[in-house]
Structure 1
Amino acid sequence: MPRFAANLSFLFQEEPFLDRFAAAADQGFEAVEFTFPYEHAPAAVAAAMKAAGLQVVLFNTPAGDWAGGERGLTALPGRRQEFRAAMDRAFEFAAALNCPRIHVVAGLEQSGSDRRVLEACYMDNLAWAAEQASGAGLMLMIEPINRRDVPGFFLHDFDYAEKVLTEIGAPNLRLQFDIYHAQIIHGDLSKRLERQMPWIGHIQIANPPDRREPGGGEIDYGFIFDRLETLGYDGWIGCEYRPAGATAASLDWARRYGIVPPKKKLNP
């Protein structure tokens, strides 16, 4: 049976961020993930998590000046000190939340930059971060993201991601396999999952072309979930989709897999 984690940066947008933990628990989730928690203090996020009885399984490193268009610091030469400070901030949150995984966001290719220089920076930063994370028992993730949604994103190929993981060789550096991005970039999902399963440390889902919930769109997720079971994947699957309507209504597909709102206790 698949294990699903609600992505609180995409789901339950009807509520303020800290209230989304309770909303996810009310719909039957036992785990959550999110992109950037940094507008809140680690203690406040941890309190919301604990009050809802949930575990946090993944979040992202700070991505630089998001409002200014930045999408990560890892592949940006000249920003290494900022990258290291961002990792320290992420490690602080991981400790407070007892979260085992951090997605290290790659960033955008700079206009006119030499790809080889970006690659060298990316590899060096990842190797350093993996060494730091190892001492804390943390797993770091790298995620290829399609350039239709994020033009110019540095890491946009799953084969290149595998090359990065192979060359660095850190046991706590793994592939974040977002099925939505993989479909847009490569297709041939079943064979790609089979080939890259040894590298996968986390999976996320959404349905192209509009990044909606399973049950409509290009991907037959019933087939994909069966395939993941056959391949022996027993990790969390992050629900990182944009609901077509209200979040609760978008979870009809998940009821077949055990995501059921807990029964409310009656007042005596």
Structure 2
Amino acid sequence: MTNLRFAANLKWLFTELPFVERFDAAARAGFAAVEYASPYEYEARRLRALLDDAGLEQILINTPMGPAGSPTRSGYACFPDLAGEYRDGVLHGLEYATVLGARFLHVVGGIVPEGVSAERAFARYVANIAWAAEQARGTGVWLLLEAQNKRDAPGFVLRSQAHAAAVVEAVGDDVVGQLMDFYHVQIDEGDLVRTFETHYDTTLHLQIADVPGRHEPGTGEIAYATLFRAVEASGYDGWIGCEYQPATGTTDGLTWMKELAG
């Protein structure tokens, strides 16, 4: 399987090092691209310099999220009363994505807020994504939507891959696509090959981790060798983000690439 391209997620990999040192570490390990959730703690141009110095491409960042433990820890997009914070976050994310040269901005959906019906939260989410799509058109940045599993994110606004795909089709697949994380899919839906093939047309980016420990491929129940063959056979030419917690050290754990992905 020579056509699969893996990007290091610097939130999860090389955490043995300070964040600013992870770029060079990823390049030394053979990665040509990186992704990470939050660039906002650093000036965008400083991060761009780190990318350029390491010879790396930035693939993806997320829109801003609230602090850990807060109601907005998984995003603002479904909060009816936080439209201003949401819009500011999208514009901020587009600014960073443009400077970093990132193709994708993941608009994190959010957990349905307490006291708000799932229907009202979802209606706000769709309206917010439609607004973000208008802002993204002409920037060269694509927006990504991701359904997260209900074990790790109970009450997440998107219930399934089909739910995310329906939003993509409703708001405009000229600038919005789907982020499919096989870790989340396995926990909530399973049937990974069929699910991927069903939503191939709307899926622009993939992420991986094994289940149940969210460690590297080959440490859990997912048959990643089979899954990688199916992804390659589909003609998928995007990146695959390595969004997992290494079971031991990052570099030692990268043997899965040769063993499972060839």
TM-score after normalising by structure 1: 0.93
2:118 is the counterpart of 1:118: no
2:26 is the counterpart of 1:24: yes
Residue number in structure 2 paired with 1:265: none
Whether the 8 Å contact between 1:61 and 1:104 is mirrored in structure 2 is yes
Q: C-alpha separation between the residues in 2 aligned to 1:250 and 1:22?
A: 18
Give the drift of 1:156: 3.1
Give the drift of 1:257: 7.6
Whether the 8 Å contact between 2:147 and 2:159 is mirrored in structure 1 is yes
Residue number in structure 2 paired with 1:14: 16
Give the drift of 1:258: 8.4
Q: C-alpha separation between the residues in 1 aligned to 2:49 and 2:221?
A: 38
Q: C-alpha separation between the residues in 1 aligned to 2:140 and 2:43?
A: 22
Q: C-alpha separation between the residues in 2 aligned to 1:27 and 1:210?
A: 23
Give the drift of 1:69: 4.6
Residue number in structure 2 paired with 1:82: 85
Q: C-alpha separation between the residues in 2 aligned to 1:217 and 1:69?
A: 30
Q: C-alpha separation between the residues in 1 aligned to 2:17 and 2:159?
A: 32
Give the drift of 1:167: 1.8
Q: Which amino acid aligns with 1:194?
A: E
Residue number in structure 1 paired with 2:170: 167
Give the drift of 1:233: 0.6
Q: Which runs of 5+ in 1 are unaligned?
A: 260-268
Whether the 8 Å contact between 1:144 and 1:161 is mirrored in structure 2 is yes
2:102 is the counterpart of 1:102: no
Residue number in structure 2 paired with 1:62: 64
Secondary structure at the aligned position of 1:57 is classed as strand
Give the drift of 1:235: 0.6
Q: C-alpha separation between the residues in 2 aligned to 1:36 and 1:67?
A: 16
Q: C-alpha separation between the residues in 1 aligned to 2:84 and 2:67?
A: 15
Whether the 8 Å contact between 1:179 and 1:189 is mirrored in structure 2 is yes
Whether the 8 Å contact between 1:2 and 1:257 is mirrored in structure 2 is no
Q: C-alpha separation between the residues in 2 aligned to 1:16 and 1:87?
A: 27
TM-score after normalising by structure 2: 0.95
Secondary structure at the aligned position of 1:48 is classed as helix
Larger radius of gyration: 1
Residue number in structure 2 paired with 1:262: none
Shift in alpha-carbon separation, 1:257–1:222, aligned structure 2, 3 A: closer
Give the drift of 1:112: 2.4
Superposed, which structure 2 residues align to 1:1-268 within 5 Å? 1-66=3-68, 68-70=70-72, 71-256=74-259
Q: C-alpha separation between the residues in 2 aligned to 1:66 and 1:52?
A: 30
1:184-242 Cα distance to aligned partner (Å, 9 max, x none): 11001111111100010100000001101012211111111110111111110000000
Query: Which piece of structure 1 moves more, 3-12 or 108-117?
Result: 108-117
Whether the 8 Å contact between 1:130 and 1:170 is mirrored in structure 2 is no
Q: C-alpha separation between the residues in 2 aligned to 1:40 and 1:195?
A: 38
Q: C-alpha separation between the residues in 2 aligned to 1:172 and 1:257?
A: 32
Give the drift of 1:65: 3.5
